Structure formats: structure tokens, C-alpha cells
Amino acid sequence: MNKIYPSAKEALSDILKDGQTLGVGGFGLCGIPEALIDAVRDLGVKNLTCISNNAGVDDFGLGILLKTRQVRKMIASYVGENKEFERQYLSGELELEFTPQGTLAERLRAGGAGIPAFFTATGVGTIVADGKDIREFDGKKYVMERALTPEISLVKAYIADKSGNLIFHKTARNFNPPVAMAGKLTVVEVEKVVENGSLDPDQIHLPGIYVHRIVINANPEKRIEQRTVRQAN
């Protein structure tokens, strides 16, 4: 089965629809699927629910989908760098399901593992637990969290072979693997593709069974979210 598509737009054009739930990998602006996010914008789908660690910044990452008003709801753990997100949320234009970062990672991992729900102590006694099932185990209270299974997952990896076995680069390995595992259909953006058998099996971070489509973006921008410099003495 050929998993490689000539462009991000072609990889998404026949599967992306209004109202879908998208899982989007990355941590801040590190390891985000830049070309795939651009393709979502260009295809013009609307009323999306986006599951991601963050909402990008105003002019990059998921911020560009907020700017074009294509996102109806965010399920995220951190949204502090995006002024447009703040404006839309405070004005009631954008729905937010705020989720602790570890809980978000586990909800995605559980979705990929076929576990429908789990209990965690994180959030008990806060608004995070409002309306959720609370149970006691060994004298301690836990809140039930549902797994996440996005209809389409957009993921960034460093290298793929033609079967979709993936290697991630450093910080990009944080949220991209669970996002890839959780998606019912996973599209991966990579910097290079190698022949099957070229990757050391012990170095593969995610097996190709989770990957349905691959696009190549050999020169991603990799923008820095916050640059701090130190003046030389």
C-alpha cells in the first residue's frame, strides 16, 4: 500500500470535512505539522474541534486556523501565547475544554490503546472535575476522564520509511506519538522518507501500523515560540 502523497493538500482533500475532530501533534511550536495545518486552512473546512497541547501563536501553528475562524472548539492544556484565542474565548466565540497536560497525554494514549476511560487524581476538587464521575479508591478520590480518538490526527515526525515506521526528533516526541496512535486516520508530515528496512528496528519510535498517509516537508520553518538572548559582556 502506497502511503506517500505528493502534498499535504492532496493527503487531506478527500478525508477532511466540516465539523470533524482533529488531533494535532507538537509541543508549543516544536514538532508541529506545519504543512498539514496550512493545508487545513487552504481547504477551508469549518467548525473543527482541535485536540492539541496548545493553540499555537497568532500567526503560526493552530493560530492560523483560529485567525480564519475554522476552529469551533479547542481541547488543550496551554493557550497562553495566543491573543486571538483569548479574544475569541472571552467573547464566547470559541469553546474550550481545558485539560491538565498529563491528563491530555493520557486521554490520547488511552484512545490509541483502546481504553475508553480511566481515573486520575489530577483535577479533583477543581472545575476540571465538574460534571464528571468521581470515585474513591483506597481512601482517595479520583475523577474519570474519557479517552480521545480524533477522526483525523495530524502529526510531525523526522523520518519515516515507506511503511510509515517513524522516528521523532527530541521534543517532537512528546505529544506526536500519542496523537498518532489515537487518530482513527493518521496523516504524518516528515522531513525525509527512506526505504523499508533502512531504519534500525530498535530506533523506531512508532510502528507504521498507526500511520495511514505520509507527506514530505523537507524544509519546515521550525519557528521559535519565544527567543531569549543573552548579551555578551
pLDDT tens digits, one per residue of 179-208: 999 999 999 999 999 999 999 999 999 999
CB environment 154-164: b (16+ within 10 A), e (fewer): bbbbbbbbbbb
Q: Compute how many other C-beta atoms are within 10 angstroms of the C-beta atom of residue 151.
A: 17
pLDDT of residue 231: 78
- Give the least confident one: 27-31, 37-41, 67-71, 197-201: 27-31
* Fold classified for 9-116+150-216: Glutaconate Coenzyme A-transferase (3.40.1080)
Listed by start position, the domains of the chain span 9-116+150-216
Whole-number Å distance between alpha carbons of 160 and 199: 9
Rounded to the nearest 5 degrees, what angle is found at the Cα of 78, between the Cα atoms of 103 and 153? 65
Read off the pTM: 0.92
CA-based nearest residue to 35, from 156, 151, 152, 153: 156
State the average pLDDT over residues 75-99.
Answer: 91
Asked whether the predicted pLDDT for residue 141 surpasses 90, the reply is: yes
Contact in structure between 29 and 223 (CB atoms under 8 Å): yes
Give me the pLDDT at residue 119, please: 98
Between residues 79 and 165, the one the model is more confident about: 165
Mean pLDDT of the chain: 94
